[in-house]
Chains A and B, each alone.
Chain A
């Protein structure tokens, strides 16, 4: 019996249909607090075997080169590979749809109380910490991948433009990406 179960599991993981893709990505979404990548790796590589470790790393790298939410890019590409267009829809519905419905429900409930003094003070405290989470993410990636003086200058210029100077993102990307590409191409 155990063997038959294992065989069935193998067959299912070999060709997951849209329903399994939906459930798999909903599970990832509901487990991930503060960034989905670590949970995605655990579920996709270790638990379900939908990707190898190397594929996951490559896909996350490619996801970061493309615009759009990184882990969502990984999900839709995997969904497409496993089950075509319906796989893409299932991956989006599970990874983005499910947590969005959940958090919007919580917000619908919370928004009635939001302007009461103590509730507001509590949430502003949380807002400061969530700003801190974003600062920390920036510093952490920066310490790992922005080390050359040229890169530090580019990061600081981008920060100043987008933060204190309020330059629209379109202009920053239109100038920053070609400039950075040219500088790195010469160095490579």
Chain B
């Protein structure tokens, strides 16, 4: 049973590794679909809590993958998921380095980055939507998410950790 779970994690994250155009945050909806909707390996609110924990921890966003793997299958799950999420894209990135200067003309490069920008932005906003819904999908979660966005635009220099701390206090005060 355990091996089955690990294999499933390896397949899911190995695939997402190659789809993660725009970084780890852009594939949050697909992680949610695969782990929560399709297989019920993680509950909706645990998913949201692990994302919160990943955001509050130091390190690149991809550590979310290790946390999800850990919640599903312990330390082995964390290791398998993290390796599966990083190795395929790493092989591609290192491989591309030896060819990219010859393969991509400057024009193709600039067209590609202009073309990917709107897709990436759409995917990241879709991740925000998925996360707000996973946190509870009622008025209070939308208000708190919205207030965070407003605050970050009004006070761009403030360390984003403060917003997590303030929201933690509000969550406790209003029994979210």
Contact of A67 among B92, B134, B153 (CB under 8 A): B92
Q: Per-residue 0/1 for A149-188: is the Cβ within 8 Å of any B Cβ (1 yes, 0 no)?
A: 0011011111101111010111011001100110111001
| Residue from the set A69, A117, A177 with the largest chain B CB neighbour count within 10 Å | A69
| Chain B proximity of A161: nearest CB distance (Å) | 8
A interface residue count range (under 10 / 10 to 19 / 20 to 34 / 35 or more): 35 or more
Closest chain-A Cβ to B94's Cβ sits at a distance in Å of 5
- Inside 8 A of A168's CB, which chain B residues have their CB? 30, 33
Query: In the complex, what distance in Å separates the CA atom of A81 from the CA atom of B101?
Result: 15
A121 contacts B171, CB within 8 Å? Answer: yes
Shortest CB distance A9–B (Å): 26
A sample of 13 more A-B contacts (CB under 8 A), given A104-B67, A128-B171, A169-B123, is A29-B60, A33-B161, A34-B160, A66-B89, A68-B23, A80-B94, A124-B176, A129-B168, A131-B48, A131-B141, A169-B27, A180-B115, A184-B114
Q: A: which residues have CB within 8 A of B?
A: 29-36, 61-73, 76-77, 80-81, 88, 92, 95-100, 102-104, 106-108, 110-111, 114, 117-118, 120-139, 141-142, 145-146, 151-152, 154-159, 161-164, 166, 168-170, 172-173, 176-177, 180-181, 183-185, 188
Q: Which residues of B contact A (CB under 8 A)?
A: 16-25, 27-30, 33, 37, 45-46, 48-63, 66-67, 70-71, 75, 78, 82, 85-86, 88-90, 92-94, 96-97, 100, 107, 109-132, 134-136, 140-141, 144-149, 152-153, 159-161, 163-164, 166-172, 174-176
Q: Please, could you name 30 A-B residue pairs with CB atoms under 8 Å apart, sorted by A? A: A29-B58, A30-B58, A33-B160, A63-B93, A64-B120, A67-B18, A69-B60, A72-B89, A72-B90, A81-B97, A92-B86, A96-B86, A103-B54, A104-B75, A107-B71, A108-B70, A114-B49, A121-B172, A125-B174, A126-B55, A129-B145, A129-B167, A130-B55, A130-B164, A132-B128, A139-B149, A145-B121, A162-B29, A173-B119, A184-B111
